[in-house]
């Protein structure tokens, strides 16, 4: 349980993540409903004698691959460039770059996993901090006389987080192959996983015992309500992309080199939402007569007339869609100080549906309110009936299985590489031709189509570690280039060469969608919105291998490694 201030902070935190993971908004709604049900608005609070919060096990994995794959452009925030870091993975954001590849090339990316599990001390400290906060808020809640009257010797045990595994999962995130097939024509193909985000929360052992008395001092009926609750929330959002394309060198002469290319993208999205609860309980009338929930043989209920004592909340859906996109681009490497690239990337609109999804919810009649997910619930024990205290009614949790639509923005992008020796400054102008739009049930958030700007830089450092080059070591340490320093120190064996250091970012300028239903998001999206950032490095060893490390990125976070092989 949280205070109103903490609830507000949690709500805003979850709303931020709903842009990338609609699933988390469901979790926020579910928690809001639970909190509303528990925070009773009763003039005569019930007697509380038992509160066992049970255990929570939380697993949250966040993997995004939004700035691109491989080394080069992906380490400049996905900036479009004609000449920086050409490798097979260029098929994902500038297929024309395939035309500049002369050898067969293979590259794959892998993500270094890290999170609360990295060291047990970190995990234990996080869990301890959360548990201390939960204990404080639980104590404040149950001891508030507006909520409960405590028995003479109440048993109060707050919820405890038993395990918490939150962070970035490890594993392969992409691969790409470039293969010259005819003269200056190069075939490329690859696969990447732009998003793989999972959230799983399992609770068990929540028990309560509440007493309510109805009537007068002379004639009264006592109700003792005992409940045991366990639940599982399992949500995930995944997007995969398979790409195939061609690049060709169209011209090579006095005016430089011109290449063109196209790529076809096939995107598969999957959004799983599961809510499963084990709700058990009974009401004791007058200290002796036990009336159980989920009892199909209760003689006091008229099941034929639609009465029920079900106590359940379940929802399940596996929402999927597969769509095609395409991209074409051209790059011109001039003999002058600037190179030029032009690219159009068409992104499809995803309609995530599941015809077999279902939801079902029945709650006791003393939990008043129809729309569970709206949070409009109250605990009214005065509504208990002596002959049917375990009566329940159906409630609405259909929003948990609402279809959703996701539109990622298509764009026309112009890139200019400003060359300064071996170094490059890259400027991008972006014209978005479709909006960023997420529709979930009746809720719509997004950003209208507009313009954007990107800026990146790539610096090529000396291959020999001597003289004034030693002054660059602090910069290299900023890029965590420990492995590069080791390979360079033994360059006579490793044939270390071509060290590159890059960074870049892009911003989207446009207002929020006029149809947005969430005012907080509308205010947020009315401002310029960062769309990407990354900083990374790469170098060659053993002549044919290239090693790259994306140190930090947004929204991708940290530590993605690339390995390329030319053959």
Q: Write the pLDDT tens digit of every residue in 335-387.
A: 999 999 999 999 999 999 999 999 999 988 888 877 676 666 777 777 778 88
- Rg of the chain taking only CA atoms, in angstroms: 30
- Output the pLDDT for position 191: 97
Structure tokens at 411: 């764009």
Positions in the chain whose pLDDT score sits under 70: 1-43, 215-220, 371, 373-376
- Output the pLDDT for position 63: 92
If DSSP codes are grouped into helix, strand and coil, which group holds residue 471?
A: helix
User: Which residues lie below 8 Å from residue 132, measured CB to CB, with a gap of 6+?
Assistant: none
Domain containing 331 equals 9-566
Kindly state whether residue 25 falls inside one of the protein's structural domains.
yes
Provide the 10 A C-beta neighbour count for residue 319: 21
Rounded to 10 degrees, what is the CA torsion of 90, 92, 96, 101?
A: 30
Q: Write the pLDDT tens digit of every residue in 168-203.
A: 999 999 999 999 999 899 999 999 999 999 999 999
Kindly state whether residue 1 falls inside one of the protein's structural domains.
no
**What's the rounded Cα separation, in Å, for the pair 500 and 548?**
9
Kindly state whether residue 394 falls inside one of the protein's structural domains.
yes
pTM of the model as a whole: 0.85
Rounded to 10 degrees, what is the CA torsion of 440, 202, 375, 9?
A: -80
If DSSP codes are grouped into helix, strand and coil, which group holds residue 104?
A: coil
Kindly state whether residue 301 falls inside one of the protein's structural domains.
yes
Structure tokens at 187: 């075939």
DSSP state of 40: -
Give CA separation, 479 vs 423, 454, 539, in Å: 17, 21, 13
Looking at the structure of the chain, the number of domains it has is: 1
- Output the pLDDT for position 216: 60
- Output the pLDDT for position 226: 87
- 378 with 369: CB under 8 angstroms? yes
**What's the rounded Cα separation, in Å, for the pair 153 and 147?**
17
CATH of the domain at 440: 2.40.160
Kindly state whether residue 3 falls inside one of the protein's structural domains.
no
Kindly state whether residue 392 falls inside one of the protein's structural domains.
yes
Kindly state whether residue 4 falls inside one of the protein's structural domains.
no
Q: Write the pLDDT tens digit of every residue in 139-166.
A: 888 888 888 889 989 999 999 999 999 9
- Output the pLDDT for position 369: 76
Kindly state whether residue 165 falls inside one of the protein's structural domains.
yes
């Amino acid at each position: 349980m949280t205070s109103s201030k903490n609830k507000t902070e949690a709500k805003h935190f979850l709303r931020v993540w709903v842009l990338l993971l609609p699933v988390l908004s469901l979790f926020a709604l579910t928690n809001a409903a639970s909190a509303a049900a528990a925070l009773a608005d009763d003039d005569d609070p019930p007697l509380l004698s038992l509160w066992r919060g049970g255990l929570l096990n939380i697993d949250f994995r966040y993997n995004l691959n939004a700035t691109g794959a491989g080394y080069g452009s992906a380490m400049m925030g996905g900036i479009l460039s004609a000449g920086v870091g050409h490798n097979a993975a260029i098929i994902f954001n500038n297929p024309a770059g395939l035309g500049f590849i002369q050898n067969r090339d293979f590259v794959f990316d892998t993500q270094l996993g890290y999170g609360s599990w990295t060291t047990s001390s970190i995990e234990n400290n996080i869990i301890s901090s959360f548990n201390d906060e939960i204990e404080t808020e639980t104590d404040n809640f149950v001891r508030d006389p507006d909520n409960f009257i405590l028995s003479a010797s109440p048993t109060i045990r707050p919820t405890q987080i038993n395990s918490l595994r939150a962070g970035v999962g490890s594993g392969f995130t992409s691969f790409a192959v470039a293969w010259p097939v005819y003269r200056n024509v190069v075939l490329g193909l690859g696969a990447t996983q732009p998003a793989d985000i999972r959230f799983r929360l399992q609770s068990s052992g929540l028990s309560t015992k509440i007493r309510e008395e109805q009537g007068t001092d002379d004639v009264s009926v006592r109700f003792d309500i005992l409940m045991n609750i366990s639940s599982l929330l399992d949500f995930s959002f995944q997007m995969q992309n398979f790409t195939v394309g061609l690049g060709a060198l169209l011209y090579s002469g006095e005016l430089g080199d011109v290449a063109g290319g196209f790529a076809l993208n096939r995107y598969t999205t999957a959004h799983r939402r599961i809510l499963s609860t084990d709700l058990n309980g009974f009401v004791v009338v007058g200290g002796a007569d036990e009336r159980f929930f989920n009892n199909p043989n209760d003689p006091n209920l008229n099941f034929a007339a639609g009465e029920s004592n079900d106590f359940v909340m379940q929802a399940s859906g596996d929402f999927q869609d597969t769509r095609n996109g395409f991209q074409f681009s051209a790059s011109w490497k001039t003999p002058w100080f600037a190179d030029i690239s032009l690219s159009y990337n068409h992104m499809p609109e995803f309609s995530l549906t599941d015809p077999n999804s279902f939801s079902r919810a029945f709650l006791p009649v003393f939990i008043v309110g129809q729309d569970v997910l709206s949070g409009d619930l109250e605990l009214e024990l005065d509504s208990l009936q002596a002959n049917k205290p375990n009566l329940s009614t159906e409630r609405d949790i259909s929003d948990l299985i609402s279809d959703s639509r996701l539109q990622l923005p298509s764009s026309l992008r112009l890139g200019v590489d400003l060359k300064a020796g071996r170094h490059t400054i890259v400027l991008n102008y972006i014209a978005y031709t479709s909006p960023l739009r997420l529709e979930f049930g009746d809720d719509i958030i997004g950003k209208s189509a507009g313009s954007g700007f990107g800026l990146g830089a790539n610096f090529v450092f000396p291959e020999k570690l001597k003289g004034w080059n030693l002054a660059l070591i602090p910069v290299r340490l900023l890029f965590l280039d420990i492995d590069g320093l080791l390979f360079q120190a033994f360059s006579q064996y490793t044939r270390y060469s071509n060290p590159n250091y890059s960074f870049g970012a892009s911003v989207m300028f446009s207002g929020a969608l006029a149809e947005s239903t969430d005012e907080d998001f509308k205010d947020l999206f009315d401002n310029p919105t960062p769309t990407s950032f990354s900083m990374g490095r790469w170098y060659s060893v053993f002549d044919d291998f290239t090693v790259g490390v994306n140190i930090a990125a947004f929204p991708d976070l940290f530590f993605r490694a690339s390995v390329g092989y030319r053959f």
